[in-house]
Chains A and B, each alone.
Chain A
């Protein structure tokens, strides 16, 4: 269960004065015109719409918008909240389920197997654990695996 709830999310979004300072400094907005933290905050005001969640995935998480906002809305946290609620609303982005799957399987996003470890050793670097079953246990996917 996520710590976030929809009421708190809307309350936070309601602080937004629609000034646009956040969107003006957002690096993603500068190259993807239809994305913007102000628009996400605005959508969140009306709760967990598909549009709001959809709009949250492009954020790079740089926190520039949080620093620019005069109302302390912290748009990047609204974005995080929307993402956190997405598994419950069935709107999880496939990239994140894929990353979760990789971590459950191998403990790191990039596989470290015998081949990789041999390569590391050739470079004079220490070997790393190839299996990390603890991670699967903590992520709730691999107790029986």
Chain B
């Protein structure tokens, strides 16, 4: 069994427990093992644009904690955590001087990092797993949102084309293509000015609605906050249900709704007609 250190970050464990539950439920059936390290902290991303070195030290501490329990692969559920930890891991694996500088800081908390941990996004881990679908979801029309921090930066050029499309297709559901699909959620500006993600979310959800999607799927707690949790505040004349991809996958695999953080009503709607749950 492949073992990963499970990196939850700040948002998932408190504001996206359905995501965490569904990831755990799906992984345990796919032979993906998680090691929980309770002392993992913020990845450092939120402060990285202002305090780059401190943010690198936070990332290194998290990587070092994984290394210390003998786990050389870390998996993240949040796209911003993935990007930040991936960049930190690659910097520290390639730049001996920065590794040494960071270790001087880590020494103050009794840790040393040796540069051996690699970081993936849960979507990529699922993409490379085999799964068998038990329930038919072919009636569902699903619009995807990849998220910039998972998908965009050109420095990770090995990204397969539209990974979420492939993942959705593998559940048996149908992918809905829409023009604003690769647009940003604006989540990165939320703390400074909430109006930016709100305005962007309106445009995108409008587009998704007009393309007759039954639901919208994401692989990041932040994207879920922007499109799902904050949707009511947008004052749209319609609503678009938002689910984490592992919830759909779990449903297709025949896992119980409760284990996936889905209400019975949500599961029933998804399995029967698609569309908006009661």
Chain A interface residues (CB < 8 Å from chain B):
2-3, 27-28, 30-32, 57-64, 66-67, 79-80, 83-84, 86-87, 92-93, 95-96, 99-100, 103, 107-112, 116, 120, 123-129, 132, 134-135, 137-140
Contacts and interface: CB of A to CB of B under 8 A. Distances in A.
B192 A66 contact: no
Given A62-B152, A92-B50, A124-B21, A138 B58 contact: yes
B153 interface: yes
Given A61-B188, A63-B152, A99 B52 contact: no
B49 to A, nearest CB: 4
Contact of B42 (A3, A30, A108, A124): A108
24 contacts: A2-B53, A3-B52, A28-B196, A32-B195, A60-B184, A63-B153, A80-B49, A83-B49, A95-B192, A96-B49, A100-B50, A103-B41, A103-B46, A108-B14, A108-B42, A110-B14, A120-B13, A123-B17, A124-B21, A125-B17, A128-B38, A134-B61, A137-B108, A137-B109
Interface of B: 8-11, 13-15, 17, 20-21, 24, 36, 38-42, 46-47, 49-54, 57-58, 61, 105-106, 108-109, 111, 148-149, 152-154, 183-184, 186-189, 191-193, 195-197, 199-200, 203, 261
Contacts, number: 155
B10 A27 contact: no
A125 B54 CA distance: 30
A60 B223 CA distance: 12
B165 to A, nearest CB: 20
Contacts of B106: 138
